[in-house]
Amino acid sequence: MATLAQQVAAALYGSLSNRPLTPLTHTSVVSYITILLFEVFIYRPDIVDTPNRISTSKPEFDFQTVFDFIVVGAGTAGSVVASRLSENPSWQVLLIEAGGGEPLEAEIPYLTPMLSLDDLNWNFETEPSTTWGLSQGNRCKWARGKVLGGSSILNTVAYVRGNRRDFDQWRDIGNPGWGYADVLPYFKKSEDIRIPTLLNSPFHGRGGYLGIENLRYQSPFTDIIIQAARELGIYNEDVNGFTQVGVTRTPCNLRDGLRDSMSKAFLRPAKRRPNLHISLNSQATKVLINPLTKVAEGVQFLKNISGFTYMKTVYARKEVILSAGAVQSPQLLMLSGVGPSNHLSQKGIYTIVNSPGVGQNLQDHVAVGGVTYIINNNTNIGPWGTSAVMKNVLTDLSRTLFTKFRTGPLYSLPRSEANMFANSKYNKDPNWPDIQVVLIPTGSNSDGGLFDRVGNGIKEDAYDRVYGNYLNNYSFAISPVFSRPFSRGSIQLKDNNPFSAPLIYAPYYNDPRDMKYMIEACNIGHRFTKAPAFRRFNLTLIPNKFPGCEQFPILSDGYWECQARHFTSPFWHPCGTCKMGPKADIMAVVDSRLRVHKVQRLRVIDASIMPFITSGNINSPTIMIGEKGASMIKQDWSFGWLS
């Protein structure tokens, strides 16, 4: 049976152009998006959402300097924390965000790859390496959201919790209350599960703030991926349920097909609470900690109003909560005098609390980028072809379907349509898969070199050498990942200037075991492409090699390793830099209630507290951390009935 998009497309096909966007250039894409947003403004009041969208601070905020709770960072966790704390009408809650309001284009799934190239991004880069990023200028770009909603605005909306053993591991190293049975209620609390087959699942919640759906439109090739999984007996309806192993249509944080960012899900419903204050364009520079009592008393931040900036100081009656993420929460702690004393003294910062673990234990998921298979036998399934080629998606027909009929390929996000979770041959626990392979119905060639190359920082000559002959061809890609890397990195201060970007020493391949697992991940992904369902498409791996990889035969271990070191593709899942653990662990920064060791009335609630990275995308567990952290604050301040 034809999908709604196909039925409507068939009816409109004769009257609207479905011609490819040619030439496909930055200028033509920007023009297309400009027209799209104009039509969204006219026809899509659900996206514009003027009554609820948050774009400015409340006027009275400028005159208020004392609050019960101050939350720094309106990202994935901070949005949750501020929303939940403000449920108590007697608590005055201030949420500080360095960026501005959420833009319209962030809600349109297909535009996701373009968002990280905008000013919504902090535009961090890793420090140079001689062993990875070799075709990327020896460093990787790190997109982190500088906008209300944080990185939940930029990410690929995948809602993957990780494995139950991830959380049991957290508990077992000395963090009571963080096992899977303990955290499952907080996952469910956020959820409004809207996937029909999962509505009655005991693993999911209904009625929460966060919509969980499958993408409204998926590339026809994703149906082939699912067919292949069924043929191999590895299809999994719910990787967030009883077992994680298998291939699934990726559940996503969406509501009615549109991105459900944390600002949209948690802050818009709370907008009219008189006790919730949100200060946009406000970059925190320091937590004020009394050096004698070691009590967090407030926050300093730089406020920007239409280009006019001024420094403001606010005070907390109860607590300061850092939710600035795994890069900037440790940066703020160190700027405030909490961190490794040697490092702080080198930067001219007085040490209030020597905490050696601040900024250490940095973890991330990294993929072998650019593993692209050309679809040689394109059967042209549907009006836009077999797989997602950008110039074929950005048409007048697609725009009209989106703005007037609420369907069509602009509701797609190819990088989040399907995922595989598998066991490597080295894994000792078959119920705790150590490999993730993102199965993508579009390749590094499919956007004509406009966004994937730029977003990953690939040198133009290297990109052209590998993909130049295949630009805009139908393709399929795999993105293989070792889910539980051994490598660790760190976040360090460049200097004592809060406006200097921190130094990011990325955790890629500094433990040789990681490459062994990564090669295995590549082999698992490649074997999947040999499933019977793919045969009629005559898939072939692009044979061109990155400079320096010529001597390695295609599919050999050396080939995969060379590709990994040249096209190093971070998943932007940084975590672990304010590790949760008991006092006996000198590298632990916070305790199991997320209170900073040796500092009173200061917590960290975000992905930085993860002792170990979870087995999958980390947005969902970060939401859970926000939910659980807010609940613990309510309990600790004798409002357990609100938790």
| Element holding 320 (H helix, E strand) | strand 308-322
Which residues lie across from 239 on neighbouring strands?
Answer: none
How many Å apart are CA 433 and CA 520, to the nearest integer? 13
Q: Which residue from 223, 216, 230, 233 is spatially nearest to 379, judged by alpha carbons?
A: 223
Task: State the amino acid at position 438 in one-letter form.
Answer: V
Residues 595, 393: contact at Cβ < 8 Å? no
CB 66 within 8 A of CB 315: yes
Q: What is the CA radius of gyration of the chain?
A: 24
Backbone angles phi, psi at 575, to 5 degrees: -160, 170
List active site positions.
573
Here the tokens at position 219 are 């590339």
Tokens 């001689």 belong to 130
* Contact indicator for 481, 493 with CB cutoff of 8 Å: no
What is the three-class DSSP state of 368? strand
Q: Which two tokens stand for residue 74?
A: 């309106």
How far, in Å, CA of 542 to CA of 444, rounded? 10
The token pair at 581 is 């653990």
- Pair 162, 616: CB distance under 8 Å: yes
List beta partners, residue 284: 301
Burial of residue 207 (CB within 10 Å: 0-12, 13-18, 19+) is exposed
Q: How far is CA 218 from the centre of its chain?
A: 20
Strand 258-259 relative to strand 252-255: parallel, antiparallel, unpaired?
antiparallel
User: DSSP letter at 107?
Assistant: G
The tokens describing 385, both together, are 């072809």
How many Å apart are CA 211 and CA 205, to the nearest integer? 10
Helices of type H across 86-152: 112-115
Question: Annotated binding site: which residue ranges?
Answer: 147, 572-573
Classify each residue of 234-248 as buried b or exposed e, where b means 16 or more C-beta atoms within 10 Å of its C-beta.
bbbebbbeeebbbbb
| Residue whose C-alpha is closest to residue 162's, from 175, 179, 177, 145 | 179
Amino acid symbol at 228: A
490: which 2 tokens? 């760190």
For 295, what's the count of Cα atoms within 13 Å in the CB-facing half-sphere?
Answer: 8
DSSP string computed for 226-243: HHHHHHHT-B-S-TTSS-
**Residue 444: which of 398, 392, 390, 480 has the closest Cα?**
390
| Gap between the Cα atoms of 142 and 366, Å rounded | 11
217 touches 409 (CB < 8 A): yes
Other C-beta atoms within 10 Å of 2: how many?
A: 10
Known binding residues for FAD: 147, 572-573
